[in-house]
Amino acid sequence: MDVTNPPDKPWARLHVVRGAPPRQFRFEAQRPAELSIGSAPAAHLFLSASGVAPRQLELAWDGAALWLQDPLRLGCTLVNGRPLNEWLLIQGEALIAFSGIRLWVAARALLPLPVSPDFAALERARQGVPPMGSARRIPTVRLPNEELSAEQLAQLLNGVVGS
């Protein structure tokens, strides 16, 4: 059994698998986070590959479920071979493809499955408000645009997970 993915809690992962240097992100239950992916320097996951839009993809982890959307509605982002436009719930594994980039995502949400992201939880996380029923402060991490070594990424993630 994979102890990093508890069977009784929601979780999610994102991995860059082709077209850009390998990177990975983990998302834990009750710790909402947003991730912008694109060629804009301010993107959380900056991709300089040719054809990548400034805001190619948005990922929202509301603390319980993983959601994807193509914010510009370009129709050029594919999830398991289908165009992505509106918010899409990820349950299980999916391959995201655009402009020669391949991202792998995996997520587990608990039943019943939500019909839309919990935007209130995401807003509370942006403002640093603890999740409902929790006294813990949600850590905010701004990832650097330069490439990180696997060791540096592990240290950065351990600092967030351990806080």
Task: Flag the least confident range among 85-89, 91-95, 156-160.
Answer: 156-160
Which amino acid makes up residue 110?
L
Asked if residue 92 belongs to a domain, the reply is yes
Asked if residue 37 belongs to a domain, the reply is yes
Instruction: Give me the pLDDT at residue 134, please.
Output: 42
Quote the tokens at residue 106: 């995996």
**Average pLDDT across the chain, whole number:** 80
Instruction: Give me the pLDDT at residue 148, please.
Output: 58
Question: Global pTM?
Answer: 0.70
The long-range contacts involving 121-124, CB below 8 angstroms and separated by at least 24 positions, are 121/32, 121/62, 121/63, 121/64, 122/32, 122/34, 122/60, 122/62, 124/32
What is the pLDDT confidence band of residue 96, given thresholds at 50, 70 and 90? very high
Residues facing 36 on adjacent strands: 58
Asked if residue 68 belongs to a domain, the reply is yes
Asked if residue 136 belongs to a domain, the reply is yes
Q: Angle at the Cα of 84 (from 92 to 93), degrees rounded to 5? A: 15
CATH of residue 113: 2.60.200.20
Asked if residue 82 belongs to a domain, the reply is yes
Non-local (6+) Cβ contacts of 137 within 8 A are: 128, 130
Non-local (6+) Cβ contacts of 120 within 8 A are: none
Comparing 127 with 61, the larger pLDDT belongs to 61
What is the pLDDT confidence band of residue 139, given thresholds at 50, 70 and 90? very low
Asked if residue 51 belongs to a domain, the reply is yes
Percent of the chain at pLDDT above 90? Answer: 50
User: What is the rounded CA–CA span in Å between residue 42 and residue 55?
Assistant: 10
Percent of the chain at pLDDT above 70? Answer: 75
Q: What is the pLDDT of residues 6-53, one digit of tens each?
A: 567 889 999 999 999 999 999 999 899 999 999 999 999 999 999 999
Asked if residue 5 belongs to a domain, the reply is no
Longest CA–CA span in the chain (Å) reads 44
3-state secondary structure the chain: CCCCCCCCCCEEEEEEEECCCCCEEEEECCCCEEEEEECCCCCCEECCCCCCCCCCEEEEECCCCEEEECCCCCCCCEECCEECCCCEEECEEEEEEECCEEEEEEEECCCCCCCCCCHHHHHHHHCCCCCCCCCCCCCCCCCCCCCCCHHHHHHHHHHHHCC
Count of structural domains, the chain: 1
Asked if residue 147 belongs to a domain, the reply is yes
Range of the domain at 142: 11-161
